[in-house]
Structure 1
Amino acid sequence: MDRMPLKGIHHVSAITGDAKRNYEFYTKTLGLRLVKKTINQDDPTVYHLFYADERGNPGTDLTFFEIPMAGRTYKGTNSISTTSLRVPNDESLVYWKKRFVEHEVEHGEITEEYGRATLAFQDFEGQRLLLVSDENNDGVPPGKPWDKSPVPVEYGIQGLGPIFLTVPKLDLSEAILLNVLGFSKNGTYTNRDHHDVSVYETGLGGTGGEVHLIHREDLQPERQGRGSVHHVAFRVENEEELKKWTSYLKELRIPNSGFVERYYFKSLYFREPNGILFELATDGPGFEGDEDFEHLGESLALPPYFEQDRKEIEARLKPLETKQ
């Protein structure tokens, strides 16, 4: 194909009902850096918060839309059921388990899955998260934890790991990953809950380039709410490549958003056959076009096409103090 292969996971966007508590948990407890405090460009009345490594490198962003009236999540299939986060090595998980105890974070035991040490945990809204050790990773390179984080750099979260999708019709999701997005199948395993999982990878593979499909036919479709994941994005090199993907999906007659300007990156959205929202997003231009590195995330940042509405937007948002 004349399109470059997707480079790995770009970001994951989830839902929170409380931006203030969300900010406290992801920066103070998990030690991520808030690299951008902005708005949901499809609904400018609510925050969109980006947590990442030191500068929001592609593949490190875990983002949240604040929807204060969001109901509870009814967990199920047709969903992005777990987001994993990469840590440097197995020893890091020992540090994190102790930290979770100290901060009263709900968590499980350190276990091995697919040849990697892992530690499952949840945030205050039941967001399903998993720490994955990069001890033996030789795939997509990690990001760089912020040196001003409350978590020591040697144990810090360094990006997004494998993304877990729970689907009732494995063959349909697999066909999109293999035949449309160009992933390759890398293996299978049985997870801690005794369910079959298939692994697919793109780019350089490894923890930063994998999607794990969990096959479940015994569940109802998930109903999204606070603590659920809205979509997952995959990395595209640049705008030229994204436009090739836009044309390709059109040729295949796959319904999609077409090219979307997000200012910090360019995007394309579509749903795979089990109803999960996928995004393709460019690696750049990044988060330093409207804030310098030292002050990322400290002020409300708006793309230029929203600046004329700043006063109205700020009046609708509940103040959120994020100065470092």
Structure 2
Amino acid sequence: MNLQLGGIHHVSAITARISGNHAFYTRVMGLRLVKKSVNQDDPSMYHLFYADAQATPGSDLTFFDIPRAAPEHRGNRSISRTFLRVSGQAALEYWAARLEDNYVAHGPLHLRDGRLTLDFEDPEGLPLSLVDDGGRGEAYPWKGSDVPAEYQIRGLGPVMLTVPELHPTARVLTDLLNMRRVRAYVHPDDTTAQVHVFEMGEGGAGAEVHVAVRPDLPRTYPGAGGVHHVAFRVPSEEQYHAWARHLEAAGVHTSGEVDRYYFRALYFREPQGILFELSTDGPGFATDEPLEALGERLALPPFLESRRAEIEAKLRPL
């Protein structure tokens, strides 16, 4: 079987202020809350999923609620920037004005790797960038957003990894995950550093990993405002099982197959410590609630449903 990943599936980050996080991503960023759930490994904390109107794989930005988490100390061995796709310069100009109206500082519009880009941070310091994807692929704008449909976030763009050495990570991306190394560019924050671009599937902004080599940086100390892991798209359960066998045969220590109810997951760390996940596109977030009502109630996987009253009693209102 020719194992190929389809692109970025989701990015999961950490928040210490879940109510403010919910307000920022739904009201300022105009994303739809498509699943209000809990961390399946620790149901005392929320796990929120923001996405497009259809909860499309590749559009999910998710957050684990860890109220006492200290802020992340940035450095290398981390997922250091998350890109969100929009279409066209007019969209980026709209977002520059919208961020200013909401008192969110941002950098100037600039070209990064040949694409017009706008850098900013969320209220807890999570590094984000809006990037022009050229209108490639389908878009599913959400009618409940006050962001005009043509300017809405279309999905996840590349993720940037920052590592002290290129080779260990590059080898995993190419030899293990069958990505293609396609180009490199100068790091915008350090002209002595290179960023190497790897693509998967059909390529494009939603199917790239950018690896920045920064041996000068200290190691990241994880925390709020940082990314926990990135997940890559697996199109079918058949391929998912094949990927599990492939990683086992390569001697990679993994979580084993994990059923997250909305998708199947497989976790492992690349040699420099960054957590990767392989996730199936299905069955999807409409498994347990209608598409038009996604995110309106607390959704629990079947194995937690019997504990609903206990779990709800411990969660703070959003």
Instruction: Provide TM-score, normalisation by structure 1.
Output: 0.96
* Residue 68 of structure 2: aligned partner: 69
Aligned with 1:217: secondary structure? coil
In structure 2, C-alpha distance between the alignment counterparts of 1:215 and 1:160, rounded to whole Å: 22
Partner of residue 284 from structure 1, selected from 278, 282, 285: 282
* Residue 206 of structure 1: aligned partner: 204
State the 1:154 CA deviation.
0.6
State the 1:3 CA deviation.
3.9
In structure 1, C-alpha distance between the alignment counterparts of 2:26 and 2:45, rounded to whole Å: 20
Query: What are the residue-to-residue correspondences of 1:205-244 with 2, within 5 Å?
Result: 205-244=203-242
Where has structure 1 moved over 3 Å in runs of 4 or more? none
AA matched with 1:164: M
Q: 1:294 to 1:260 in 2, by over 3 A?
A: same
How many residues end up aligned between the 2 structures?
A: 316
In structure 1, C-alpha distance between the alignment counterparts of 2:287 and 2:247, rounded to whole Å: 30
Structure 2 residue runs of 5 or longer lacking an equivalent are: none
Query: What are the residue-to-residue correspondences of 1:92-107 with 2, within 5 Å?
Result: 92-107=91-106
**RMSD, matched Cα:** 0.9
Does residue 146 of the first structure (1) align with residue 142 of the second (2)? yes
Cα deviations by residue, 1:26-64 (Å, 9 ceiling, x for unpaired): 000000000000000111110000000002101000000
AA matched with 2:224: R
State the 1:4 CA deviation.
3.1
Aligned with 2:85: secondary structure? strand
In structure 1, C-alpha distance between the alignment counterparts of 2:154 and 2:97, rounded to whole Å: 19
Query: What are the residue-to-residue correspondences of 1:140-179 with 2, within 5 Å?
Result: 141-179=137-175
In structure 2, C-alpha distance between the alignment counterparts of 1:246 and 1:288, rounded to whole Å: 26
Q: 1:146 to 1:116 in 2, by over 3 A?
A: same
State the 1:191 CA deviation.
2.5
In structure 1, C-alpha distance between the alignment counterparts of 2:179 and 2:173, rounded to whole Å: 5
Indicate conservation of the 8 Å contact 2:3/2:178, yes or no. Answer: no
Does residue 33 of the first structure (1) align with residue 32 of the second (2)? yes
Indicate conservation of the 8 Å contact 1:106/1:123, yes or no. Answer: no
* Residue 266 of structure 2: aligned partner: 268
Partner of residue 251 from structure 1, selected from 249, 252, 259: 249
Q: 1:142 to 1:185 in 2, by over 3 A?
A: farther
Does residue 18 of the first structure (1) align with residue 17 of the second (2)? yes
* Residue 291 of structure 2: aligned partner: 293
Structure 1 residue runs of 5 or longer lacking an equivalent are: none
Q: Once the two structures are aligned, what percentage of the paired residues are identical?
A: 52
* Residue 44 of structure 2: aligned partner: 45
* Residue 302 of structure 1: aligned partner: 300
